[in-house]
Amino acid sequence: ILNVEQSPQSLHVQEGDSTNFTCSFPSSNFYALHWYRWETAKSPEALFVMTLNGDEKKKGRISATLNTKEGYSYLYIKGSQPEDSATYLCAFAGVSGTYKYIFGTGTRLKVLA
Amino acid sequence: DTGVSQDPRHKITKRGQNVTFRCDPISEHNRLYWYRQTLGQGPEFLTYFQNEAQLEKSRLLSDRFSAERPKGSFSTLEIQRTEQGDSAMYLCASSSGTGFNEKLFFGSGTQLSVL
Q: What is the DSSP annotation of chain A? A: ----EEE-SEEEEETT--EEEEEE--SSSEEEEEEEEE-TTS--EEEEEE-STT-EEEETTEEEEEETTTTEEEEEESS--GGG-EEEEEEEEESSS----EE---EEEEEE-
Structure confidence by residue, pLDDT tens digits, B31-45: 999 999 998 899 999
Q: How far apart are CA A68 and CA A45, in angstroms?
A: 23
Contact criterion met (CB < 8 Å) for A99 and B41: no
Three-state DSSP class for residue B106: strand
pLDDT category at B97 given cuts 50, 70, 90 is confident
Q: Find out whether B83 and B91 touch, Cβ atoms under 8 Å.
A: no
Q: How far apart are CA B48 and CA B56, in angstroms?
A: 5
Q: How far apart are CA B89 and CA B18, in angstroms?
A: 16
pLDDT of residue A1: 59
pLDDT category at A97 given cuts 50, 70, 90 is confident
Does B105 lie at the interface with A, CB-CB under 8 angstroms?
A: yes
Structure confidence by residue, pLDDT tens digits, A40-72: 989 999 999 999 999 999 999 999 999 999 999
Q: How far apart are CA A21 and CA A9, in angstroms?
A: 9
Query: Best residue in B29, B103, B111 to probe A by mutation, most A CBs within 10 Å?
Result: B103
Q: Find out whether A77 and A88 touch, Cβ atoms under 8 Å.
A: no
What residues are paired with B23 via a beta bridge?
B6, B75
Q: Find out whether A10 and A88 touch, Cβ atoms under 8 Å.
A: no
Residues of B in contact with A93 (CB under 8 A): 100
Mean pLDDT value of segment B10-37: 96
Q: How far apart are CA B58 and CA B94, in angstroms?
A: 17
Structure confidence by residue, pLDDT tens digits, A69-88: 999 999 999 999 999 999 99
Does A45 lie at the interface with B, CB-CB under 8 angstroms?
A: yes
pLDDT of residue A106: 96
CA-nearest of A81, A75, A78 to A35 is A75
Query: Best residue in A31, A100, A107 to probe B by mutation, most B CBs within 10 Å?
Result: A100
Q: How far apart are CA A2 and CA B30, in angstroms?
A: 26
Query: Best residue in B7, B98, B100 to probe A by mutation, most A CBs within 10 Å?
Result: B100
The larger pLDDT score, comparing residue B97 to residue A45, is at A45
CA geometry: angle B69, B70, B72, nearest 5 deg: 70
**Of the segments B8-12, B36-40, B69-73, which one has the largest average pLDDT value?**
B8-12
Does pLDDT of B23 surpass 80?
yes
Q: Please provide the average confidence, as pLDDT, over all residues in chain A.
A: 94
CA distance A16 to chain B (A): 27
Q: Name the A residues in 54-83 with CB < 8 Å from any B CB.
A: none
Nearest-by-Cβ selection for B41 from A31, A98, A105: A105
